Structure 1
Amino acid sequence: MIQLGIEVSELNFSWASGVSAIKSCSLEVPKGEFWMLLGTNGSGKSTLLRLLAGLLNPQSGKIRVSEPVGFVFQNPDHQLVMPTVGADVAFGLVSEKLSHAVVRSRVEEALTAVNLLSLIRRPIYALSGGQKQRVAIAGALARNCDVLLLDEPTALLDPDSQIELVAGVQKLVKNRGITALWVTHRLDELNYCDGAFLLEKGSLIDQGEAQRLKQRLMELHQETEIPQ
């Protein structure tokens, strides 16, 4: 029997205005796999990710996500709060009341996983956009996250940093057995995932092999500007 890292059943969510954002959505992400969430602007991708992270509450349906859960925002400046790389990665461990030695070990291990250990004392303001996103991911890894949710984490990055980040997450999934769900508009990122979901107007309309969904999305929305 396949173990699931993420399981959603008949999920529905509407905004306070009454506008429906997610409609009868059901999906499963196998544990230890890297899946992507596709769709045009307004299709509900970011809303669904926030529901999975517990940042929003659905009106109906079921959500089961293995914990701990790490969430990476599109703009890392919205979640990096400490002055240095090491301090920011350690910040999420405060509530666990760990010894200084354990905290340092976890921080160093997490930064090694994202190839930033050499920058442990670097001020956050001195980092590139790609480095900031990797610090955000390291913060989730330090908390031993079982599921990693990423909301268009390469949207603000240059092409080289984009590929470096998505390839790095793919490696983390394989090496650590993390379950990852990544929201994207960039079709070239589909080369790195195990599978993908396609949302349209809040409904899941297709899922499966990434390259097939890439082609379908291009055919359905030829007039939509999607970086390729």
Structure 2
Amino acid sequence: MESSSPAIRVQDLCFSWPSGVQVLKSCSLDVPKGEFWMLLGTNGSGKSTLLRLLAGLLKSHSGEIHTQGRVGFVFQNPDHQLVMPTVGADVAFGLVEDQLPWIEVKQRVEDALAAVKLLELQRRPIYALSGGQKQRIAIAGALARHCEILLLDEPTALLDPDSQNDLVIEVQRLVKTRGITALWVTHRLDELDYSDGAFLLENGVVVGQGNPEPLKQRLMKKGLTSSPL
């Protein structure tokens, strides 16, 4: 890992649901700036909960979270976050709170759509998009807001195999060309081939991290290849 301050730092994070079920137990991890890391673990290990805590959608009971830069969140199902009728309007919607001049909003929308290679769809109705295109629009919304950190919660789970591959390659390209940091929750081990590193969660604790290949082999030995983790 880099010696400079990480883009994401989690220290001794704990979280329990109101029912009393503890999800995260003194969870700690660092994600280096400008890198593409993935988060692995079986169902119930705390992956999605951790991502929501990082995004501020949930509040931890104890521990610390430090993020350097604005954070963008991409849901598993893009229909849960695309709210406007057209592509351009949806990307612009996230800029409302920034109260920017119209010309800057227009430029940011166009730049973000160009970054995800969908500029020609600016006037396309959201309902007419494929699942993969919708996920790219969700990412474009974060880019338009100048987010420096992307959190992606199993973004390929509802996509066909070709779209799954296209999306992970696209995020890898954005990380490398724009200097953003990405943390991607996945249950597909082949996606690890595109990452700079990975974390393995078990029962709310990070039990492995770093080079994704040993973690991939570890999970394959358990019989967890392409099945949900």
SS at match of 1:4: coil
Q: Is the 8 A contact 1:7 1:29 kept in 2?
A: yes
Per the TM alignment, residue 67 of structure 1 is displaced from its structure 2 partner at its CA by: 2.6
Which of 183, 186, 190 is the equivalent residue of 1:181? 183
For residues 47-86 of structure 1, what are the structure 2 equivalents within 5 Å? 47-86=49-88
Residue 3 of structure 1, CA deviation: 2.8
Structure-2 change in CA distance of 1:225 and 1:173 (3 Å)? closer
By how many angstroms is 1:224 displaced?
A: 7.9
Q: Which residue of 1 aligns with 2:223?
A: 222
Deviation string, structure 1 residues 127-163 (Cα, Å, up to 9, x no partner)? 0000000000000000000110000000000011001
State the TM-score, normalizing by the size of structure 2: 0.96
Q: Structure 1: where are the runs of 5+ without partners? A: none
Q: What residue identity is the alignment partner of 2:36?
A: F
Partner of 2:136: 134
List aligned pairs for 1:9-28, cutoff 5 A.
9-28=11-30
**Could you tell me how far 1:223 is from its partner in structure 2?**
6.4
TM-score, length-normalised on structure 1?
0.97
Within 5 Å, which residues of 2 pair with 1:140-159? 140-159=142-161
Distance of aligned partners of 1:65 and 1:206 in 2 relative to their CA distance in 1, 3 Å threshold: same
Hey, what does 1:95 align to over in structure 2? 97
In 1, Cα distance between equivalents of 2:215 and 2:227: 14
* Structure-2 separation of matches of 1:172 and 1:224: 27
Length, aligned pairs only: 227
2:212 counterpart residue number: 210
Secondary structure at the counterpart of residue 7 of structure 2: strand
Name the structure 2 match of 1:192: 194
SS at match of 1:18: coil
Q: Distance in 1 between matches of 2:88 and 2:194?
A: 28
- Please state how far the C-alpha of 1:62 moved relative to its aligned partner: 0.5
Amino acid aligned to 1:192? Y
Gaps of 5+ in 2: none
User: 1:36-87 CA distances to partner (integer Å, 9 max, x unpaired)?
Assistant: 0001111110000001111111111010012310000000000000000000
**Contact 1:187–1:227 under 8 Å retained in 2:** no
- Is the 1:36–1:197 Cα contact (8 Å) retained in structure 2? yes
Alpha-carbon separation, structure 1, partners of 2:200 and 2:114: 33
> Where does residue 40 of structure 1 map in the other structure?
42
Residue 33 of structure 1 contacts residue 178 of structure 1 at CA under 8 Å; is this kept in 2? yes
More deviation, 150-159/59-68? 59-68
The CA RMSD measured in Å over matched residues stands at: 1.3
Instruction: Report the equivalent of 1:111.
Output: 113
Counterpart amino acid of 2:109?
Answer: V
Tell me if structure 1 keeps the 8 A contact 2:209–2:215.
yes
Question: Where in structure 1 do 4 or more consecutive aligned residues deviate above 2 Å?
Answer: none
Structure 2 residue matching 1:3: 3-state secondary structure: coil
Letter in 1 for 2:47: K
Q: Secondary structure in 1 aligned to 2:208?
A: strand
Amino acid at match of 2:203: K
2:219–2:225 CA contact under 8 A, matched in 1: no
Correspondence for 2:33? 31
Q: CA deviation at 1:203?
A: 1.0
Shift in Å, 1:100: 1.1
Q: Distance in 1 between matches of 2:165 and 2:174?
A: 14
Residues 184-212 of structure 1, C-alpha deviation per residue, up to 9 Å, x if partnerless?
00011001000000001111110010111
